[in-house]
Amino acid sequence: MNRLKLMEKLRVPMMLFPAIAIIVVLFGGGMISGVGQSVGYFPVIGLNNFTLDYYRDVLTDDGFITSLWLTFRLAFLSTLFSSVLAVAFALVLRHTFRGSRLLTLIYQVPIPIPHLVVATGIVLLVSQSGLLSRSSVALGLTQTPRDFPVMVFDTAGVAIQLTFLWKEVPFIGVVVLAVLKSVGPQYEEIARTLGANSWQRFRYVLFPLMLPGILSTSIIVFAFVFANYEIPLLLGVRHPTTLPVMAFRNYQDPDLALRPQAMAISMILAVVAIFLLVAYKRLAKYAVES
């Protein structure tokens, strides 16, 4: 009897064990090793003494705050624009019209395509030697490809933003669209008969219904963009660059002495990301409840 009870109690933890083990070993192991290196424990290169020097070095570096701000701005703007566009698309695609199924399918195409492939496509499209630039010359809008605005390897990060938008709009949109389709048109119709105009129907009826979907997906987008290194590495300028790129460069450097700094950046990045996500979640909870 007791054994049965014990088995019953252990059932859920046992079922979760494989997943938890992977997370603990791979993620936890990496974290511990990373934290160790960032505070001066890196026996491979003879570092054995605990120190916060690497954190001090990173935090006092002028480029750090610039990079942090750039990273935050990139993540914030990508999330904001993706969410707004996703909502706009979902509002259109929830209706059934001629070709709406095909359009919905096309809209979802970016989801399985890797970010790197998208980045390459964006370069081919918007760089000064890209398709748009050449078309612009062909149409006589610009004299030479050089007259086309710089969108790749630029400080504003236009190509980076475009890459994230292309990938994340459908990601948020699919969830929001599913919410809208499952809700159906009736709430909106009730609101209409009660005198709500189209803006009021969106603001007071549809938006609150979509909000939990928008928040739960946008938080993923924010976390993803905040920690993403390959797109800013491929499409961004060398200075200033985002924190993940900075950490990656230090990590990749043949000089192993830079590794503790890379880890310090990564840890700060993780802490800031966790802080922002908690704040975002709180804000989201407040928004949904009120």
Q: What residues make contact with other proteins under the rule CB under 8 A?
A: 184, 186-187, 189-197, 200, 204-205, 208-209, 211
CB of 193 to other proteins, least distance (A): 4
Which CB, 2 or 182, lies closer to other proteins? Answer: 182
Q: CB of 111 within 8 A of CB of 171?
A: yes
CA distance 21 to 66: 37
CB of 194 to other proteins, least distance (A): 4
Kindly give the residue spans of alpha helices, DSSP state H, lying in 140-206: 158-183, 186-193, 198-200
Q: How far is CA 115 from the centre of its chain?
A: 11
C-alpha to C-alpha distances, 276 to 5, 76, 84, 280, nearest whole angstrom: 42, 11, 20, 6
CA gyration radius, the chain: 24
CA distance 103 to 32: 47
CB of 105 to other proteins, least distance (A): 25
Which residues is 42 bridged to in the sheet? 47
CB of 157 to other proteins, least distance (A): 36
Which CB, 23 or 287, lies closer to other proteins? Answer: 287
Which CB, 140 or 195, lies closer to other proteins? Answer: 195
- Letter for the amino acid at 251? Y
Which CB, 121 or 208, lies closer to other proteins? Answer: 208
Which CB, 181 or 249, lies closer to other proteins? Answer: 181
CB of 269 to other proteins, least distance (A): 35
Show the tokens assigned to 60. Answer: 């006092």
